[in-house]
A = this chain, B = another copy of it.
Amino acid sequence: MISAEVGIRVRYQETDQMGVVYHGNYFTWFEAARIELLDQLGCPYRELEKSGYLLPVLHCEAKFKSPAHFDDRLTVLVRIKEPPTAKVKIEYQVFRSGELLCSGNSTHAFIDPKGKLIRPPAVFLEKTKGFSALQETGG
């Protein structure tokens, strides 16, 4: 398993008139966590795009247990649990002081700028190969 986490301070702009964070905004926080994970894997998304890789969302999902509020300090935990194949599934959990507020996931494909499915970049495969081996030894 590969994981990372990112801190989020809830913006006023992210709230709605129910007095809580609008549900669609969690996907932006998932994105922030995903970007952090790619950084830690040594393949920052900014560099990936410059090298001709795009990582569009094929599917995304979120389950809400308890609302987040303005000015909350949250932690978004992000994980890749299964070694990627042609697709990568990424999982997220949003916590406030240890309380789970939301869990979700997104599934992505690697495509080139013309929209064609392509093999993930070498550095990404290498990192996830290591991860895969780790799993096999019971990690």
Contact = CB atoms under 8 A, between A and B. Distances in A.
Contact of A28 (B9, B11, B58, B63): B11
Given A61-B60, A62-B60, A16 B18 contact: no
A13 B32 CA distance: 9
A38 B46 CA distance: 33
Contacts of A44: 71
Interface size class of A (residues with CB under 8 A): 35 or more
A62 B11 CA distance: 19
A27 interface: yes
A70 to B, nearest CB: 6
Contact of A13 (B22, B58, B63): B22
B17 A57 contact: no
A95 B35 CA distance: 22
Contact of A32 (B11, B31, B35): B11
Given A23-B57, A61-B62, 9 more contacts: A13-B16, A13-B24, A23-B60, A24-B24, A24-B31, A46-B71, A49-B70, A57-B64, A59-B64
Q: List 8 A-B pairs, minimum CB-CB distance, nearest first.
A: A24-B27, A15-B17, A61-B61, A23-B57, A46-B71, A13-B28, A17-B19, A59-B63
